[in-house]
Structure 1
Amino acid sequence: MSRKRKILKPASDNALEERLEYKFKDRTLLAKALTHASALTPSQANTGSYQRLEFLGDRVLGLSIAAMLEREFPKADEGELARRLNQLVKRETCAQVSRALAIGPHMRLGDSEISSGGRKKEALLADMCESIIAAIYLDSGFIEADAFIHRNFSAMMKSYKGPLRDAKTTLQEWAQAKGKPTPSYEIVNRTGPDHAPVFVIKACVEAVEPEEASGTSRRAAEQAAATAILKREGVWKE
């Protein structure tokens, strides 16, 4: 006889719907969006958990945010729009939205996830933010999902204060403004297997102390090294 899973009953979804400012026509979509695989049998996990919805919600979120940025920043170039988008769709931002909406108490989790603090895990909070977006999309279409995203992400969009240009471009412009040649980048070290390499790159600007940084690709390491110089020289404040 299989051992019955003990599942802690989540908070009522009625209160959650009020915070979402959306009432589901099909409540099973919301239930699925909040259900972790640990609360299901192995045969149910693939289709009964939030994971497929999270996959869809990630795409809906990206489209909605991209359209919102295109409207709000008509003079921004593609690079600026991409950096703003990446800031808004990243895990930390989605988890922040989930925390603001108090999603944690409504999660349907199994014993293992409950005991490991699943209701507060950033990755799980982020995933369920996206799964809820997908549930709204499937329940009522893009207009309602877009409205939900606008309500919960627009304030962060307007308050973003991070760099709007990539580090290598900014460093090159800074160097040229000071009459220096284009910065150079050299590989200091490369470790790890081919499928998971780690590069150490040195960024060099004439008459400026170089900086080294690592990354999982040459480009990422170059960007990190350029960022280190920009921060050290006070070009970027954060």
Structure 2
Amino acid sequence: MKLSADLQALSERLGHRFDRPELLVRAVTHSSRAGANREDNQRLEFLGDRVLGLVMAEALLASDTGATEGQLAPRFNALVRKEACADVAREIDLGAALKLGRSEMLSGGRRKQALLGDAMEAVIAAVYLDAGFDAAKTLVLRLWGQRIGSVEDDARDAKTALQEWAQARTMPPPSYVELSRDGPDHAPVFVIEVRLADGQSAKAKAGSKRLAEQAAAKTLLATVEKSGS
């Protein structure tokens, strides 16, 4: 089986040459495009989630041999959650290769976080089935890259911490406002501002609303904690 041009390009971005290219085809096929002769990626997504989890568990144990389970769990969750998978998918432009039904395509399916996250997990499974665990592990560690080293910061939920700070001072919860969205569909950049009822605010930009909100909350939290207000 010969891959189409878009899937061949994706294979090159992944850095993996498939001996069984039909696995990659299945990994990028959404249920809206599946049919009698075309399987969707749901079963691969299920498997990929488990492969990703094992890779990340091993990586976290190796990177911090003294960490407790209580310290490791939030770091693990930050690395394997759907948002993280979708962010990685955007970085390799996985959306451009998705096989979607017409309605899903017209509704912006190539940009949807859930679809991108599911497809990323399915791609991991495809590599695993094609070449084994070591190949899938190499892929995951390369694509997740610096996220693993900086996960301790990411694992702290700044939005929750800022909301708790506000509630402790009888303020309403912080509000988040999208100021702008720029860039192409497969690699958007969001600018978000978080505001407190007392007028304090902070801005941040990132490749997803969630990351921008977290970054803005982290900046404002650091400011209010430093001021001791």
TM-score range (shorter-chain normalised) is 0.5 to 0.7
Give 1:164 deviation, angstroms.
5.6
State how far apart, in whole Å, the 2-side matches of 1:162 and 1:154 are.
14
Question: TM-score under structure 1 normalisation?
Answer: 0.64
- Greater alpha carbon shift after TM alignment, 11-20 vs 92-101: 11-20
Q: Structure 2 counterpart of 1:40, which letter?
A: A
Asked if 2 retains the 8 angstrom alpha-carbon contact of 1:12 and 1:106, the reply is: yes
Match of 2:22 in 1: 28
Q: What whole-Å deviation, never above 9, does each CA across 1:7-49 have from its counterpart, x for those lacking one?
A: xxx75211111110111000000000011111123x567xx00
Pairing partner for 2:82 from 75, 79, 91: 91
Q: Is 1:17 aligned with 2:8?
A: no
Q: Give, in angstroms, the shift of residue 125 of structure 1.
A: 0.4
Identical pairs, percent: 41
User: Which has the greater radius of gyration?
Assistant: 1
Check the 8 A contact 1:26/1:139 in 2, yes or no. yes
Q: Which residue of 2 aligns with 1:50?
A: 41
TM-score in terms of structure 2 length: 0.67
Q: How many Å separate the matches in 1 of 2:107 and 2:139? A: 30
Q: Residue 34 of structure 2 corresponds to which residue in structure 1? A: 40
RMSD value over aligned CA atoms? Answer: 3.4
- Please name the residue that 1:70 is paired with: 61
**Are 2:143 and 1:152 equivalent residues in the alignment?**
yes
Structure 2 segments unaligned to the other structure (5+ residues): 174-220
Runs of 4+ in 1 over 6 A off after TM superposition: 210-213
Aligned residue in 2 for 1:178 = none
Task: State whether structure 2 residue 162 is matched by structure 1 residue 162.
Answer: no
Contiguous gaps of at least 5 residues in structure 1? 1-9, 171-201, 214-230
Match runs of 1:173-184 below 5 Å? none
Give the secondary-structure state (helix, strand or coil) at the position aligned to 1:234. helix
- What are the superposed Cα offsets for residues 190-226 of structure 1, whole Å, 9 maximum, x if unpaired? xxxxxxxxxxxx99xxxx657899xxxxxxxxxxxxx
Count residues with an aligned counterpart. 178
Q: Is the 8 A contact 1:79 1:164 kept in 2?
A: no
CA distance in 2, matches of 1:96, 1:154: 12
Cα deviation, residue 159, structure 1: 2.1
Opposite residue 103 of structure 1, the aligned amino acid is L
CA contact (8 A) 1:38 1:113 kept: yes
